Amino acid sequence: SDSSHTVKRLQRMAPPTNFPKHKFTFTDGFEHNPSIAKQEAVRRATITNILRIVMVTVAISALIYRSSFDFLLTNTWQWVRETRLLKWDTCEPFLAFIVFKSSFFLYDAFEAAYPNYYYWLIPEAKGTHIRHKRSVLYSIVYITPESLATFIYYYGPIVAFDLIFPRRVLPETIPGFWAIIGEITAMLVTYDFVFFWCHYMMHKHRGLYRLFHAKHHEAGVKYPLISWGTVALSFGQTWTNLFCSIFTVNSIKFLTLGSYQYHPISRIGYNCITVFWLVEEHSGYDMPWLLRNIVPFSLRTLAGGPHAHHAHHTRGHGNYQKWLTYLDSLMGTRLESFDDIYHKKRIQLAHQVNGH
């Protein structure tokens, strides 16, 4: 019958692992095991739910005990603002660099230490991901020569400028807890908005694409997209990214004609989250803490992450936003990831079964 045929189709469905077709193939020799896949899916969901509970608990506590949170934040700021690290002009780029390298280590170490890492990959990456052969200890110090060069000409001029023109003045006070959260969120949204248009222009104009962006798209075409693909950048795109970030942290200062600026703690939080998300979206992993996993219900469609960015790299266009998807939806450049297509198809088939 039609109903039994639909049920069989539903049972046979599995996340696609071989599209789009590349010149490279998955070489780990990993054989998909449905029972292990289910076990790992439950494990990921459990971690996600724990993270949701923690976040909701902190948010409710910060609302109920707002004055206590603000008092603790103020005392902490009075202490850290006197440290040599915070007084250093290059403090914020330095901390961002530390988080950047730690993010690479996190994904490399996970892959080296966890035998069932394959089941944590997003569907599109399962057909192409090649496991690295480094140990956990070696992952701590590992860095590709290309990545080292990128870090040098990314951070080198910043360090030099700060040495020549020392100018860091730390405020004596700090806004409340929720004000800091608001500032960090505002900067993340601003960066996402500004980068979208830069990214969109690089793809729409061949000259800009060849000059700035083509090198980055070798990841996903010439070789599989992995976390280290984050820093496969031309000199021009490196400084395009830097311009977007400099504009972002100074945007409120421009809008208010210098009467208001983001707090250093907010800027540090923004920088650290940004570099972690950059590595995350290139990793190919469906980690429990992804924004699209944390937010409930249909709000997940507003978040991009590895699913959306992997689709961008493998298809060569679309999904130009980094963190969110609303501009891609407005501009008609939104691409559904295989995860979105797969779950939508399962829902449609399930409705067909229930309808019969």
Q: How do residues 219-270 score in pLDDT, each as one tens digit?
A: 766 666 677 766 777 777 888 888 899 999 999 998 898 889 999 999 999 9
Q: 9-18, 67-76, 99-108, 170-179 — which is least confidently predicted?
A: 9-18
Q: What percent of the chain has pLDDT over 90?
A: 39
For position 241, what pLDDT does the model report? 86
**What is the per-residue pLDDT for 134?**
83
pLDDT of amino acid 183: 96
Query: What's the pTM value of the predicted model, to 2 decimals?
Result: 0.84
Residue-level length of the chain:
356
Domain boundaries along the sequence of the chain: 35-354
Q: Is 286 left (phi over 0), alpha (psi -120 to 50) or beta?
A: beta
Burial 225-244 (b: 16+ CB within 10 A, else e): bbbbbbbbbbeebbbbbeeb
Amino acid present at 323: W
In 3-state terms, what secondary structure has residue 219?
A: strand
Q: Which long-range contacts (CB under 8 A, 24 or more apart) does 130-137 make?
A: 130/24, 130/26, 130/27, 130/28, 130/224, 130/226, 131/28, 132/108, 132/226, 134/108, 136/109, 136/112
Nearest residue to 227 (alpha-carbon basis) of 272, 285, 270, 312: 285
- Per residue in 167-190, pLDDT (tens digit) is 888 999 999 999 999 999 999 999
- Does residue 22 surpass a pLDDT of 50? no
- Rounded to the nearest 10°, the torsion over CA 317, 155, 192, 261 is -160
